[in-house]
Structure 1
Amino acid sequence: MSFVAEFSVRYPILREARACVPGIELETEDVRQTPDGRQRFVFWASGDDFEAFESGVEADATATEYSVLGDSGERRLYRVTLSESAGERTTHSVAAKHDIVFLDVTADSEETRIRARVPDRDALFAFRDACRERDLAFRLVGIYDGGGETADGRQYDVTASQREALVHALDAGYFDVPRRTTLSELADDLGISDQALSARLRRGQTGLVRSTLDGPSDT
């Protein structure tokens, strides 16, 4: 029976660029292959210094070119074409081989967090082994049983950091009408940037809705 697994992988892709902005968070939108066989990533970036990140991308050996596709103020949408050597360190083809579907892919300055639909444990172990063969550190965070609960007791498709942000926001009155606190105040409390907190709250809310409301209605 299939399940949802959450795990982290330390990819070298854009690692130098990500390190330029410690509070940055990247959220993958799409992965395509160019006519010459290279991989092209489209992702949203949330952080407090996009100029530093872009300078980092220009100097990062894993990227050959990039474009800014959109800018909402708090986030920017990027398209980055990977170098040939960097493309060989990705694992999307491995996931496809084992019928693993990436549902969410997010990265910070240290690691990439992936939530994926996995057909069985053999497929998950095969993916883990493929990561290790590529010298990519793999860490299993949790396995969801399909009802919103992980093997370690975490519920509702929400990570520990997302839960912390959501609960703190609730306790501080961020969801009240009118609000009793601001995003900046919450971010200061948690020691992260406004953009990173905004992305964390958004992903946490998405997980809650997906695990509790995204299904057939009883009425």
Structure 2
Amino acid sequence: MGQAEHPSGMGLVAEFEIDCEALPLVSVAKAVPETQLDLKIQYNHGNWPLFVAYVTGGRPDEIERAFESAAFVADYTLVGQAGDTRQYQTVPATSLAGTLGDAIDDLDGLRALATTDALIKRIEATPTGWIQAGWFADREAFDAFREFWQANAGFTLRRLTRDGEPEAPGEGLTDRQQEALRTAYEMGYFEIPRTASLEAVASELGITASSLSERLRRAQTHVIETTVASTWPPLPD
């Protein structure tokens, strides 16, 4: 939500949890909790936009059964696959009021968030709601989101920094990524030589080895990007 241009070095960067099971595709995340479900919104499609879901891990038949049983989803299409991540485009079955009307009284307030000077860069559906991360032009723009969700559902702030400030190592990792890194480290996966295999760590976490591999790669990439990557000299032409 929010269409503001993101000027470098200004504003706030925040990550927060919204506790609302009525949000789109939360029921899918609840049905297949071993997966990671990242969302992107495609606007300009009627009362509800299209949602693109990036599903990492899990069995395809279970994932698609969860889409079929979700009241929010009228239709879904597998549009791509990369490694253990499957990309689906979902078409909403109901309007904004039909989806959230029983859970949120202030739908006009929710619509108003779309005009806030904010840019939501990441949405993850969880079994209890959404995790959102994004940029906010100022404290007033961030407070509009915080106050709305505090009043209408549940809100937990995970991170709030000034735009341009370096993140502490590990900031911005999802709970599943943190768990995967911690478990792999504690079991000796990163030891030289390794004292635990990828399969052993995956078994401890209750996921497939391919799901764990994808999760570790995402986590390691994020840690590199937020620590040493920004200090590297540019590559020569």
TM over 0.5: yes
The alpha-carbon deviation at position 64 of structure 1 amounts to 1.3
In 1, Cα distance between the equivalents of 2:59 and 2:93? Answer: 24
Q: Secondary structure at the match of 2:141?
A: helix
1:70 aligns with 2:70: no
Aligned residues: 213
The alpha-carbon deviation at position 45 of structure 1 amounts to 0.6
The alpha-carbon deviation at position 21 of structure 1 amounts to 1.6
Q: Are 2:189 and 2:196, in contact at CA under 8 Å, matched by a contact in 1? A: yes
Deviations 1:94-143 (A, max 9, x none): 5542222222222232332222122232222211223345x332221222
Q: Equivalent residue for 1:210?
A: 225
Q: Secondary structure at the match of 1:16?
A: helix
Seen in structure 2, the aligned counterparts of structure 1 residues 120 and 18 have a Cα distance that, compared at 3 Å, is same
Q: Are 2:120 and 2:132, in contact at CA under 8 Å, matched by a contact in 1? A: yes
User: Once the two structures are aligned, what percentage of the paired residues are identical?
Assistant: 27
In 1, Cα distance between the equivalents of 2:15 and 2:214? Answer: 18
Seen in structure 2, the aligned counterparts of structure 1 residues 95 and 214 have a Cα distance that, compared at 3 Å, is farther
| Structure 1 residues 179-218: aligned runs within 5 Å | 180-194=195-209, 197-215=212-230, 217=232
In 1, Cα distance between the equivalents of 2:113 and 2:231? Answer: 28
1:147 aligns with 2:162: no
Q: Secondary structure at the match of 1:174?
A: coil
Q: Equivalent residue for 1:128?
A: 146
1:54 aligns with 2:71: no
Gap regions ≥5 residues in structure 2 = 1-9, 101-106
Seen in structure 2, the aligned counterparts of structure 1 residues 160 and 49 have a Cα distance that, compared at 3 Å, is closer
Which fold has the larger relative contact order, with Cα–Cα distance below 8 Å and residues 6 or more apart in sequence?
2
Compare 48-57 and 169-178 and name the one that shifted more: 169-178
Gap regions ≥5 residues in structure 1 = none
Deviations 1:156-195 (A, max 9, x none): 4435553342243245443467755333311222345546
In 1, Cα distance between the equivalents of 2:190 and 2:113? Answer: 38
Q: Are 2:73 and 2:91, in contact at CA under 8 Å, matched by a contact in 1? A: yes
Q: Equivalent residue for 1:137?
A: 154
In 1, Cα distance between the equivalents of 2:28 and 2:175? Answer: 26
Q: Equivalent residue for 2:17?
A: 8
1:103 aligns with 2:121: yes
* Rg larger for: 2
Seen in structure 2, the aligned counterparts of structure 1 residues 9 and 111 have a Cα distance that, compared at 3 Å, is same
The alpha-carbon deviation at position 60 of structure 1 amounts to 1.5
Q: Secondary structure at the match of 2:196?
A: coil
Q: Secondary structure at the match of 2:95?
A: helix
Task: Calculate the aligned-residue CA RMSD, in Å.
Answer: 3.3
Seen in structure 2, the aligned counterparts of structure 1 residues 27 and 35 have a Cα distance that, compared at 3 Å, is closer
1:81 aligns with 2:100: no
